[in-house]
Copies of this chain bind each other. A is one copy, B any other.
Amino acid sequence: MDTKYIYLFSEGNGNMRELLGGKGANLAEMTGLGMPVPQGFTITTEACTRYYEDGETIAPEIEADIFAYLRKMEDICGKKFGDTANPLLVSVRSGARASMPGMMDTILNLGLNDSVAEAMAKLTGNPRFVYDAYRRFIQMFSDVVMELPKKDFEDMIDQIKASKGVKFDKDLDTDDLKKLVVMFKDYYKSKMGEDFPADPNVQLIEAVKAVFRSWNNERAIYYRRMNDIPSSWGTAVNVQSMVFGNMGDDSGTGVAFTRDPSTGEKKLYGEFLMNAQGEDVVAGVRTPQTIDQLAEVMPEVYSQFVDIANRLENHYRDMQDMEFTIEKGKLYMLQTRNGKRTAQAALRIAVQLFDEGMLTKEEALMKIEPKQLDTLLHPNFDDAALKAATAVATGLAASPGAACGAVYFTAADAAAAAANGPVLLVRTLTSPEDIEGMNLAEGILTATGGMTSHAAVVARGMGTCCVSGCGDLVIYEAEKYCTIAGNVVKEGEFVSIDGSTGKVYIGKIPTVDATVSGDFSKIMEWADEIRTLNIRTNADTPADAAQAVAFGAEGIGLTRTEHMFFDADRIPAVREMIISRTTEQRKSALAKLQPMQRGDFEGIFKAMEGRPVTIRLLDPPLHEFLPTADEDIAALADEMGVTFDQLKETVASLHETNPMMGHRGCRLPVTYPEIAEMQATAIIEAAINVKRETGLEIVPEIMIPLTCEVKELAFVKKIVVETADAIIAASDVKVDYLVGTMIEIPRAALTADEIAKEAQFFSFGTNDLTQMTFGFSRDDAGKFLPSYYERNIFEKDPFASVDQSGVGKLVDMASKLGRTTRPDIKLGVCGEHGGDPASIEFFHKVGLNYVSCSPFRVPIARLAAAQAAINNK
Contact = CB atoms under 8 A, between A and B. Distances in A.
Interface of A: 656-663, 667, 670-671, 706, 708-709, 711-712, 715, 744-747, 750-751, 754, 768, 771-777, 779-780, 783-784, 787-788, 791-794, 803, 805-807, 809-810
A535 to B, nearest CB: 28
A233 to B, nearest CB: 15
A777 B656 CA distance: 9
12 contacts: A658-B661, A659-B780, A661-B771, A670-B784, A670-B793, A671-B784, A708-B773, A709-B774, A709-B793, A715-B793, A745-B774, A746-B772
Given A709-B794, A788-B712, A779 B810 contact: no
A776 B661 contact: yes
Contacts of A806: 708-709, 746-747, 750-751
A792 B671 contact: no
A708 B805 contact: no
A667 B807 CA distance: 19
Contacts of A750: 773, 805-806, 809-810
A141 to B, nearest CB: 30
Contacts of A772: 661, 746, 772-773, 775
A712 B671 CA distance: 39
Given A662-B776, A750-B805, A776-B662, A784 B657 contact: no
A660 B663 contact: no
B805 A751 contact: yes
A719 to B, nearest CB: 11
A805 B745 CA distance: 14
A777 B805 CA distance: 25
Which of A771, A774, A803 is most buried by chain B, counting CB atoms within 10 A of its CB?
A: A774
Which of A659, A715, A775, A805 is most buried by chain B, counting CB atoms within 10 A of its CB?
A: A775
Contacts of A771: 661
Contacts of A773: 708, 745-747, 750, 772
A776 B774 CA distance: 14
A792 B711 contact: yes
Given A783-B663, A784-B670, A794-B709, A657 B777 contact: yes
Contacts of A793: 670, 709, 711-712, 715
A662 B777 contact: yes
Nearest to A706: B775
Contact of A787 (B658, B671, B768, B809): B671
A806 B784 CA distance: 29
Contact of A775 (B708, B751, B794): B708
Contacts of A777: 656-658, 660-662
A581 to B, nearest CB: 16
Nearest to A667: B784
A177 B732 CA distance: 60
A747 B791 contact: no
Given A661-B660, A712-B793, A754-B805, A774 B747 contact: yes
Given A708-B774, A787-B670, A803 B715 contact: no
A667 B786 CA distance: 11
Given A658-B780, A744-B775, A751-B809, 13 more contacts: A656-B777, A657-B777, A657-B779, A658-B777, A659-B780, A663-B784, A670-B787, A708-B774, A709-B794, A711-B793, A746-B775, A746-B810, A747-B803
Nearest to A744: B775
B791 A715 contact: yes
A408 to B, nearest CB: 23
Given A658-B658, A775-B708, A791 B751 contact: no
A56 to B, nearest CB: 14
Given A772-B775, A806-B746, A780 B657 contact: yes
A747 B804 CA distance: 11
Nearest to A768: B775
A779 B658 CA distance: 8
Nearest to A788: B670
Contacts of A805: 750-751, 754
Contacts of A661: 658, 660-661, 771-772, 775-777, 780
A662 B772 CA distance: 12
A281 B865 CA distance: 76
A791 B670 contact: yes
A776 B794 CA distance: 26
Given A706-B775, A747-B775, A660 B657 contact: yes
